[in-house]
Each structure stands twice: as C-alpha cells, then as structure tokens.
A and B are shown apart, each in its own frame.
Chain A
C-alpha cells in the first residue's frame, strides 16, 4: 500500500439553523482516504451530506473540525477564500451536476476552459494559453470549431465536455465528480462515462465520484463509501459492497435500485419512516436507529463506529462487532 493522495480525518461541518441556536450536523466526524489512481464512489440519499463533504474536500467550504490532508499537506487550515487563489487549487478540481448551472452563460467555451488557466497563472498568455485550451478540448473530444460558442449553442453532452475540459485543463490530481451525468440522456451518459474512464487512464487522475445512481457508481468505482445522515456507514471494495452489502442501510439502498432483468431483482427492503433530523442528533444513538429493520437496544445507547469487518471493508453497525469467523487481514 502506498501513501494516500487524500486523507480526511474526523471532518465535521455544522451549519446554524436560522431562527434558533441549534446546529445542523451536515457532515459529522467523517474519515476517509483515497489512494492515487483510484476511483472512489460516494453514495447516499439527498440530505445525507455527500455534497457538503465534497465541497469540504474541494475546499469550497471550511470544515468546522477535523483535518484534510492532500499529498501530505494539511489543506484544511487554509481558508476557502484564500484557497481559491492558492497553487493547490489546481490539484483539486470539480465537475458539477448540471452544466447549464455550472457554466457561465456569457463565456464562450474557450473562455470557460481558459479561465482557471489564467486565474491560477498556469498559462497566463496566448499562445501558450491557446495551446492549453486546445489540448484540454482535444482530450475531452470537443471539436475546436465549438470553442467559440456560448453554452446555449451547445448540446447537453457538449456542455458537460466543456465543464470537464475546464476541470482538467489545470491538470488536477484529484477530480471530484458530483453527479456528472444525471442531467443527461442515457445515450449521452454512456459517452461521458467512457470519456471519464479514458481520461483517468490517460492522465492518471484520481476520482471521487458522487452519485445517487448506484448503477453508475458501480461502473466507475474501485471502492465505495456509503453515507447516511452525515456519517459513513459502510466503506469497501465496490464488488464486495454491491454484491454482499453488510450494513442494513446499504442493503435497503441496493434493494431499491430498479433492475430490468427480473432474475437479477433482490427482495425489496422497505424502510419505515423518515430519516432522523440532522439538527443536533443525539450523539449516542445510531443515526439509522428507528428506520433500521434490524435495530436493537444497544443501537439506542451507543453510536456504532466504523470498524473493519474484512480486508479494506468497514461497517458502522453493532451487528458486526462480534460476528464470528471474521478475520482481519490475510
């Protein structure tokens, strides 16, 4: 095992709840690590904190607590406003969900891709700048004739290519993909997924891929993190998590994924009720308790920690703490 590219230690982010003195725990004591060259999938329902976590890692938001270490450097202490102009900004880039919202409507494709190159001083002037923009456009398969167009003159797939070109133009080491294909049609979605896989190979980038579509995460990721109510509840190799999910929440989540082939369908696990409120949740109760079909008395007394149950596979659930026959390591 090498050195992780990204290490997140016990990171939290609280938001004040308007009109009260209470705090919303969007991300609550999350630890994770990402190895160079990996694609790590992050899944969970809306409101589980996955977007906040990604914005913390992208350094668009400041953490309330914890450390964010990138390639051995603590980048969590640099305030977000200063990080925007720091040299480290080029290391971590992001592709957002909806290209219509994430592209400036008054910038041509060329200016969009050139913007980070100019701002970060990577290639401040033409002709160097032009070469870098062309190079990025070529990498994402965007023909150079389209570079003079504005977003509304491009198709959805072309817009997302511009957004990807902008992100990779500064040669990031970590690319954060926040639902990069959910605004696209299936036929275009496949093209963008192939493009992302190719780029990862060509440029040796590391991906953190966020999606609520588990079928997609499965296609691209080596490892998967499952988030529920601000915490990671299961982490492990994609194959293991998808084929033999352990945490009751992961099992319920996977059983809800629509499957075309009737032979592939799993029995549905229905969750009762609504998720727990993330506003100052009790620190000693498992966040999934109450909805969990297997909850028992201990879950109400003690928050389960994320513990290894197998090589590289961790689960935060009391069910697995004394599971017989579990051997760690080889």
Chain B
C-alpha cells in the first residue's frame, strides 16, 4: 500500500432520500480526498449534506437513503462496490466514527466499560481479562479520571464530555487509519469542547490517524483542520488549505460564511447575514444550488453542469464567477 495515494477518496458521491413529499437530493456529486494523517474539516449549515456524506462513507445511511452514484475508495478498495460484508471488515477497525450526542450514541443500559470491551472483543480479537484490561487502558488513554470506577458507570451517570471521551475510546480502540468526527464537541462547554478536540488532535498526531472533522462552526473547523471542504445544499462549493481559504475565499458562499462568523475584535456591524436560506432539495434544482442566494450570479450560472475549477493547486471552487 503506497502512502502517497490518498487514504480516502470520495468521488462523485450522490445520495438521495425517498420521502412522502418526493425525492430529496441530499448529496450531489461530492468529491474530496483525505490523505494519511491529515485533518480535513467539513463545514456547512444544517441541510448542507455533511452528515449524510459521512454516513454514506461509513455505510450507515438510513434505509430511506440510497447512494445513487459515486465511489468511496478507502485504502484502494471501493467500499460501495464491496457490499456490507466488506464494509464490516473496515468499520470499527480502520474506519471509525463518533457522533454529536454521545449519550444517545451509547447504550443507556450497559456500563460504558463493557461497551468499550464489546468493541475490543469484536474488532481486536481479545477475550477475557485481556479485553477488560484493554478497555481499562483505553479509559485511561482518553484521560477519564479513575478508570476502574468509570468502567462500571452507566452513560447517565457521566457528563457529556466524559461520554464523548468514552465514544472516542471505542473509536480509537483498534487504531483506525481514519476517524470521522461528526460535530464531536457541539453542545459541550467551550472548555470541554477544547479538551475533546485536543484529545482528537493528540491521537491524530501520535498514531498518524487521519480525521474527517465535521462541524457547522467555522471557528472550530478553522482552528483544527489542515484543509477545509465547504458544503452548501449537498454540493462541495469550495475546497482549500485552511490558511488560504480564510485569506482568500473564492466562492461567494464561503466568503459570506466567514463574514457571518463571530470572531474576536469584530463588532455586530461587521457581521453580515447570508441572504436567503438553503433551497428545498426536492424537485428540479438549478445546477448551482447557491444561485438564488448569490449576488454575483450571471445567466451562464443556469447552464449545467456545475463547474469545478482548480484555481491554484489544491484550491477548487464550484463557481462560474469566483471572487
């Protein structure tokens, strides 16, 4: 396995959901890659398709959802072509995920230590006291005080921050090559949020673990990612290295998103809202789904297909009139 090839390549991934009110095109021809050891941030408002993309990569989509097109290549293997059996070989071992609300993601009626042990037994082929020791070791690694006592605790007895640490312990138990973290710190206090993100960073560095970090918070993404993927209404609108994206955003939506995010030194007058809302993803959509909110649109924007332009190496934008 060559390490110069990306660890994960998502190519033209499209996902649809069947609902009573019609088909929702939640993710449309999304492409990006994640290299070994790097942290890629995915940012967008609710309904932008960031979580659906993550679940499609993991093969954990809701039954109403269907991947209609595209490839998800992980370590050279197309996960979508291989079926559930193949996905199971990777999921939990080399490919892990943590979720936004750890308390709902954990089993409420099983001690958290046992839940970590379950993962270790299944994926690391450990048994008996060795599995238990490994679970205790993991609790210590995610810096939970008094692992022996926490092992016996049920999720409701632990704070949100500690539950998220338990989730991380389960996710990193088998030293995955890629961790997908979907809003891992949302809803937690700033100090806890920073501690959780620090912990993820520490694992990423120590074990050369790549991270796909998903958040609606541009500040979190900006602080923690090497590269950023900006999503809007199921499309990737821009992709660039972090510093470059903030210094010179090229898609009008990215620029608006940056301008609407509170930052130190900015006054309320400096913050500009983004006009309009995320379009209804049912029915016929224009090639550019930002069209109705955009103040730079030209008639050519209504002609398919949506362009994908590489402006400088590594900096791509899906816009006919980039900034």
Contact = CB atoms under 8 A, between A and B. Distances in A.
Q: Do A and B bind each other?
A: yes
Contact of B219 (A46, A185, A258): A258
23 contacts: A46-B160, A186-B45, A186-B261, A194-B268, A212-B189, A218-B262, A219-B267, A242-B264, A253-B191, A256-B190, A258-B190, A258-B217, A258-B222, A260-B222, A260-B263, A264-B263, A264-B264, A264-B265, A265-B223, A268-B198, A271-B191, A274-B145, A274-B159
B248 interface: no
Closest 9 CB pairs of A and B: A187-B274, A215-B262, A256-B194, A260-B222, A258-B219, A45-B189, A190-B273, A185-B45, A256-B190
B218 interface: yes
A265 B223 CA distance: 9
A214 B264 CA distance: 9
Which among A218, A242, A252 has the highest number of chain B CB atoms within 10 Å? Answer: A218
Contact of B257 (A186, A215, A252, A259): A186
Nearest to A44: B189
A190 B260 contact: yes
Contacts of B159: 274
A261 B271 contact: no
B31 interface: no
A191 interface: yes
Interface of B: 45-46, 145, 159-160, 189-195, 198, 216-220, 222-224, 243, 246, 256-258, 260-268, 271-274, 277
Given A242-B264, A260-B222, A261-B263, A193 B271 contact: yes
Nearest to B243: A262
A187 B262 contact: no
Nearest to B46: A185
Contacts of B46: 185
Interface string A206-217: 000000111110
A197 interface: yes
A206 to B, nearest CB: 17
A270 interface: yes
Contacts of A213: 190, 262
Nearest to B270: A219
A155 B222 CA distance: 28
A86 interface: no
B265 A187 contact: no
A260 B191 contact: no
Contacts of A187: 45, 256-257, 260, 273-274, 277
A84 interface: no
A257 interface: yes
B252 to A, nearest CB: 13
Contacts of B193: 256, 258
Contacts of A186: 45, 216-218, 257, 260-261, 274
A264 B272 CA distance: 21
Contact of A258 (B216, B223, B258): B223
Nearest to A155: B277
Interface string A295-309: 000000000000000
Interface in A242-283: 242, 252-253, 256-262, 264-265, 268, 270-271, 273-274
B228 to A, nearest CB: 11
Contacts of A189: 260
Which among B160, B220, B263, B266 has the highest number of chain A CB atoms within 10 Å? Answer: B263
A319 interface: no
Given A193-B271, A256-B193, A219 B219 contact: no
A285 interface: no
A220 interface: yes
A212 B186 CA distance: 12
Contacts of B256: 187
Contacts of A271: 191
A46 B187 CA distance: 10
Given A215-B219, A256-B190, A260-B261, 12 more contacts: A185-B46, A186-B45, A187-B273, A215-B264, A253-B190, A258-B217, A258-B220, A258-B222, A258-B223, A260-B223, A262-B243, A270-B198
B46 to A, nearest CB: 6
Contacts of B246: 260-261
Contacts of B222: 258-261
A251 to B, nearest CB: 11
Which among A185, A252, A258, A270 has the highest number of chain B CB atoms within 10 Å? Answer: A258
Nearest to B265: A264
A222 to B, nearest CB: 12
